Structure 1
């Protein structure tokens, strides 16, 4: 891990100018990847990336895209994908789409839900129903119904209405605990909770910057009032419950000018634990804004693994497909960040308890996804899904693309 961390730190200096602007062109195509147009993305040996949905190589403005900002993917039986579409960083413009991929052709795209408030996570619940998380609520719906919109039923409400510009972390993410409880991300209302005169602690961290637990009440119902399950987590958009039952979270750390600090974090979530925000980052280093308060970092839980600084991990998935036996049981992590540490997908080896193995160097599945004019934009991977054949599907929100990682058969 140290070698990978150092390599990313060096890459930041070399690629800083490249990361300053978001390019407006799309992905160039060259040949095919398992039946799909091959994207000009450099991958680990044996892999390739196909384009299932993407603007033309000349680019396409956000307003002209059918799916504007794809965030989360959910593979359905039969090969279709459900796609949550943020739409824009404002309310009422989000959607859920049903996509039928067509190798060698344009996918079929059908609307499922509209007028949503910044939809993010899509998941199948322990009851087999489909759930979608919006900014301030989580609902279930039936994507196979004649009118899916009519089936949209809120089940978790009253989540903080963290609107952008007033606050910073409006999106919800969730997993279910072993007992069926909803564990829901409640992002911090600010980046660093800058202390004010007389403060000894951050009032924002009392109930937000946390994971809330909504207790199960049976028959598809959960408690109206949550308890705080774990705290000190700035933004838990990447959550997964592994096959072993371990709950892992990838933390987006604070925004600072330093290129190689603080690291993003991979945390093992345990009930009642505090993970440090806003006081301490990484391996219990005091955050700059709180150094004058002389906070003690020892009581806070350290990450089990450091991730590249400013990489912005936005999804976690435990791979259990057939296409890539070498990835079986590994944790896949999307790094969405616009700095050179982002634009990649990592694979992390887990042990039998669902914990990252010590001393490893994560495998970089997409080492060449930075911006190259006329060839590709900087990748912005978010949601992951594994199809029945074991292919790995990826949503690229900034570039309006849905990509497919497959075995390179050429």
Structure 2
């Protein structure tokens, strides 16, 4: 049986057993398609083709990169990356070939010992769980759970079906999220494989995002991610795949009122489910859809300080495919959300601050919950932790740290978030580890998760062709530890951070009174304020965000975007670009002056 047909069997099993579920929470969008829909129908042709390729993929034979090391960090070789002052990153274990295929997560076992989840690539039932002892040199890796310990057909075997996250709970057991279920086991037993229990089975895992992450709250709640099957539920829009075999529901490209993938409350995806933790530590068979409209929630964690669930959102791709005015590399931003019961967070209908997706212009995004904060576009936030502040500067206590996995240049980082008055993440991400770029034989950083150790240092798990285990260490004699604001300031600026228009205008007027205004200030007044700001001022607006009266901020955003020359070509009327301003210039003389001013600013004259 193929990978795809197996996923279909699981989806059909959920349909047949739907009567066992508790009443579910309904969000603002109603009249969703019923549970008879196949999960495969939710994918576009492009999504489906990628899914099939991925499911048939054999273990990678790509070149394995080595980190360049100089000196030591916390007793380990120090790797060549940039960090906040006082921090360094040590190479604890170099997976390479013959060990991990796709290491994803770590959990504490004993002093200087952790359990490591190896997803095993995208092959079915090919994962492993290892013990890593880094108290010895070199670090020693040994297998705890592997496929040969579980006969084919045994339910417990699912613990090794694309496992992603592992977490030690208060009952002393270790919980693991497989693609279609959640499991727990006791690693201290003489035969840990005999202790594996199936806690949740038959979770939807069709399509692009089968991996599971989860968290516990303090009130017997267990929350698990059910990632979306598709990129943007395209097959239920006017842009749907016209292949009737791959898309039997909408091969004629009808625009549906909503996306059944996320609105289906029985086998839906793009959701976070809540299960009840029972007295014996098992999980209830019934669930509620706690929150939805979430494309893929690999980062899920309970915040004990604010008593909320935080989520990192992996946003959609290819936004410019059907809207050439939207630049795919720049949009959308990834998100941090505060999850609340019954809320809908907008996927696939919206992106950024409830901007409407080009495929779903028929849906009013005002009804959905906006993100709490933004992360760089396509930076793929995965694991996140709240640091205790132990042996780190006090600023880090309760601070959210996020692993940015890639793939664009603003990915491959460890970032820390500022906090608002309620202590929730806000503002522009601050970098703890960055400069993690391709350097000759050294591959780009691919952090998937983090684990704080007893001494406050943080283990970082990498996957893909890296499969390295790293350690982030702070030494107060080497710096104050303050993270670096090096990410493009235009990336994550939110409306709450912007100065009021009144303040900006007063500052601009004061500059104009001085006479002989700088070139960009003239460009601000004559071009941006008159022609650009109305459409480009909102967070998440297409292209570079341009704020009315904010000449200093706009100059910085244009420089950091690297699009100054592209903007010049647009203003010149180059037919290779979308015409701007869309309504045209009032006079040819104004256009000519705009070109002259921008050329002068770019050249530094």
Query: TM-score scaled by structure 2?
Result: 0.60
**Structure 2 match to 1:389:** 455
Who is 2:357 aligned against? 287
Per-residue CA distance 1:361-381 (angstroms, 9 max, x = gap): 33201121011113x211000
Q: Which residue of 1 aligns with 2:293?
A: 232
Residue of 139, 148, 167 corresponding to 2:183: 139
Equivalent in the alignment of 2:138: 106
Q: Which residue of 1 aligns with 2:317?
A: 255
Cα separation, 2, equivalents of 1:373 and 1:113: 36
Shift of 1:43: 1.1
Question: How many residues get paired?
Answer: 372
Shift of residue 321, structure 1, vs aligned partner: 4.3
Q: What's the Cα RMSD here?
A: 1.7
Preserved CA contact (<8 Å) 1:23 1:377: no
Alpha-carbon offset, residue 316 of structure 1: 1.1
* Higher gyration radius (CA): 2
Query: In the superposition, relative to structure 1, how do residues 407 and 265 fare at CA in structure 2: closer, same or farther (>3 Å)?
Result: same
Query: For residues 461 and 274 of structure 2, what CA distance do their matches in structure 1 show?
Result: 28
- Measured against aligned partners, the alpha-carbon deviations of 1:171-190 in whole angstroms (never above 9, x if no partner) come to 01111123212111001111
Question: How far, CA to CA, are the matches of 2:74 and 2:364 in structure 1?
Answer: 53
Query: Are residue 174 (structure 1) and residue 242 (structure 2) matched?
Result: no
Match of residue 79 from structure 2: 39
Residue in 2 aligned with 1:4? none
Is residue 200 from structure 1 mapped to residue 257 from structure 2 by the alignment?
yes
Q: CA deviation at 1:68?
A: 2.1
CA distance in 2, matches of 1:221, 1:86: 24
1:318 has 2:386 as partner: yes
Distance 2:423 2:173 in 1: 25
- CA separation in 1, counterparts of 2:451 and 2:391? 13
Matched residue, 1:155: 199
Aligned match of 1:10: none
Distance 1:243 1:350, change over 3 A: farther
Worse overlay, 345-354 or 196-205: 345-354
2:409 matched to 1:340? yes
Distance 2:220 2:171 in 1: 9
The answer to whether the Cα contact below 8 Å between 1:382 and 1:397 also exists between their aligned partners in 2 is: yes
Q: Could you list the runs of 4 or more consecutive aligned residues of structure 1 that deviate by over 6 angstroms after TM superposition?
A: none
Change (3 A) 1:321 1:76: farther
1:87 aligns with 2:120: yes
Matched, 1:219 2:289: no
- Give the 3 Å change call, closer, same or farther, for CA 50–286 of structure 1 in structure 2: same
Q: Does the 8 Å CA contact 1:27/1:40 hold for their aligned counterparts?
A: yes
> Relative to structure 1, is the Cα distance of residues 27 and 210 closer, same or farther in structure 2, using a 3 angstrom cutoff?
same
8 Å CA contact 1:246–1:353 kept in 2: the answer is no
Q: How does 1:59-78 map to 2 (within 5 A)?
A: 60=96, 64-78=97-111
- For 1:362, what is the secondary structure of its paired residue? strand
Residue 172 of structure 2 corresponds to 128
Whose strand proportion is higher, 1 or 2? 1
Residues in 2 aligned to 1:336 and 1:23: alpha-carbon distance in whole angstroms: 19
Cα contact 2:346–2:369 (8 A) shared by 1: yes
Post-superposition offset of 1:348: 1.1
Rounded to whole Å, the distance in 2 between the matches of 1:23 and 1:284 is: 41
1:151-203 deviation per Cα after TM superposition (whole angstroms, max 9, x unaligned): 111111121132xxxx1001011111232121110011111100241411111
Alpha-carbon distance between aligned partners in 2 of 1:249 and 1:392, rounded to the nearest angstrom: 20
**Alpha-carbon distance, 1:230 to partner:** 0.4
Conserved in 2, the CA contact under 8 Å of 1:141 and 1:151? yes
Whether contact under 8 Å (2:205, 2:226) holds in the other structure is no
Partner of 2:334: 264
Deviations for 1:224-255, whole angstroms, at most 9, x for unmatched residues?
A: 12211101000011011112211100100001
In structure 1, distance between residues paired with 2:293 and 2:142: 40
Maintained 8 Å contact 1:127/1:220: yes
**Bigger fraction of residues in helix:** 2
The question of 1:379 aligning with 2:445 is answered yes
Decide whether aligned partners of structure 1 residues 102 and 68 sit closer, same or farther in structure 2, where only a CA change above 3 A counts.
Answer: farther
Counterpart for residue 242 of structure 2: none
1:352 Cα deviation from its structure 2 partner: 7.6
TM-score (normalizing by structure 1): 0.87
- Cα drift, residue 306 of structure 1: 1.0
- 5+ long unaligned stretches in structure 1: 1-21
